[in-house]
Amino acid sequence: MRKTANHELDRLEPEAYKKAEKSRLLIILDDVRSLNNIGSVFRTSDAFLINKIFLCGITAQPPHRDIQKTALGSTETVAWEYHSDALTLVKQLKEEGVKIVGIEQAEGARWLNDFEPKPKTTYAVVFGNEVKGVSQSVIDHCDDVLEIPQFGTKHSLNIAVSVGIVVWDLFNKLKA
């Protein structure tokens, strides 16, 4: 088996990426503090044609050297907006018919693998602060709350890892 060279991967050029049909997934970052995590979310979003990232509260915005370090240019391809308050954004998106899904450990949360998204539905997936998680006020307005099953001793995953797991799962389910 031979490793594939980058030029053999047949990736989109930035202009073609911007014109490509995007998934029905939106990402909301609710007070994410790590610039490296934010950059990783951009990079994952580029890989799976995320429609838009919403950066809320204390979540930093591009351009920033530490975001760019992990984003590797994806801040130039993935659409994003800043909103000072995640709850206000969630309420606005709900009025537009977007289904809001929090990723959090909460009473009544379903495991990610048990969630079946509806076709032709747009979902905004909310990821929260590295210490406090998704704010309770946002959880109160979610249409669904999903938890990534974990079986070890730790109580959480790094947010960039969580975004990768959730986006990959939902992207595949919506594609099918």
> How far, in Å, CA of 176 to CA of 168, rounded?
12
Q: Which residue has the tokens 């970052």?
A: 29
Cα–Cα distance measured from residue 170 to residue 119, given in angstroms and rounded to the nearest whole number = 11
For 60-73, the pLDDT digits (tens) are 999 999 999 999 99
73-130 pLDDT, tens digit per residue, is 999 999 999 999 999 999 999 999 999 999 999 999 999 999 999 999 999 999 999 9
Residue 176 has pLDDT above 70, yes or no: no
The mean predicted confidence, pLDDT, of the chain is 97
The answer to which of 16-20, 141-145, 166-170 has the lowest mean pLDDT is 16-20
Give the pair of three-digit tokens for residue 170.
């939902």
pTM for this entry: 0.96
* Alpha-carbon gap, residue 158 to 163, rounded angstroms: 9
* CA distance linking residue 117 with residue 101, whole number of Å: 10
Q: Which residue ranges form the domains of the chain, and what is each CATH number?
A: 18-175 (3.40.1280.10)
